[in-house]
Amino acid sequence: MIDFAPMRDGELTYLEYAAQENISAEDLRRLSDESVGFLLSLLDGLADADIVFDPEDPNADDPFAVEGEEEIGWNFGHLIAHVTASSEEGAALSSLLARGVPASERPRYETPWRDIKTVAQVRQRLEESRRMRNAYLETWPDAPLLDVCRVVSERFSARFGEMNAPAAFLFGLSHEVGHYEQIEEVKRQALAARAAAM
């Protein structure tokens, strides 16, 4: 997986990175598949009860959450629902931009996290997300329009730079990768709690 730190730290925009590395739809497919593969590997050793295990998270702070859930720790299923939604949003935007549509809306849908209760459901959600992301990349024309960018706020643009098709896809994927450590920590807590209960 590429190092997203320079983009997250503002040293380089996603668009600049995509241009300097000449990122193609095939590169994005490979990176996305690699991320899905990593998340699938985290299921090793987990039981259904671990997917809904409520972790401790002293940093939990989600002002957009349902009232009363702003400071809850996110379980494994919740995190998978969240990160796949962001990657799919980036992929959907990339499809529009590559075809010359300067998207202004956020084409985002997040699977209700409470519906993800089993290892099989996590696996299904990840494979479904892989299929959806790859399908959006299939809509790219042979010569994608890389000069078409999202219509975003000045604040967003100042922080992340302009977003063309590859940059939008990378932005969503960067969000997913940024949650890796949190997901690994939730797995660690779930397995420790299960071991302690034996």
pLDDT 10s digits, 48-61: 999 999 999 888 77
- pLDDT computed for residue 162 by the predictor: 95
pLDDT in tens, 65-77: 777 777 789 999 9
- pLDDT computed for residue 58 by the predictor: 82
State mean pLDDT over 38-49: 98
- pLDDT exceeds 80 at position 192: yes
Contact predicate 152/116, CB 8 Å: no
* Sign for the pseudo-dihedral over CA of 127, 133, 138, 142: negative
pLDDT in tens, 145-164: 999 999 998 999 999 999 99
Kindly state which CATH superfamily the domain 5-197 is placed in: dinb family like domain (1.20.120.450)
- pLDDT exceeds 80 at position 19: yes
pLDDT category of residue 133 using cuts at 50, 70 and 90: very high
If DSSP codes are grouped into helix, strand and coil, which group holds residue 79?
helix
- pLDDT exceeds 90 at position 198: no
The domain segmentation of the chain, as residue ranges, is 5-197
- pLDDT computed for residue 176 by the predictor: 98
- pLDDT computed for residue 68 by the predictor: 73
- pLDDT computed for residue 118 by the predictor: 98
pLDDT in tens, 164-183: 999 999 999 999 999 999 99
What is the rounded distance in angstroms from the CA atom of residue 43 to the CA atom of residue 13?
Answer: 33
Amino acid at 51: I
- pLDDT computed for residue 174 by the predictor: 97
Q: Which residues of 87-108 are buried (b: 16+ CB within 10 A; e: fewer)?
A: bbbbbbbbbbbbeeeebeeeee
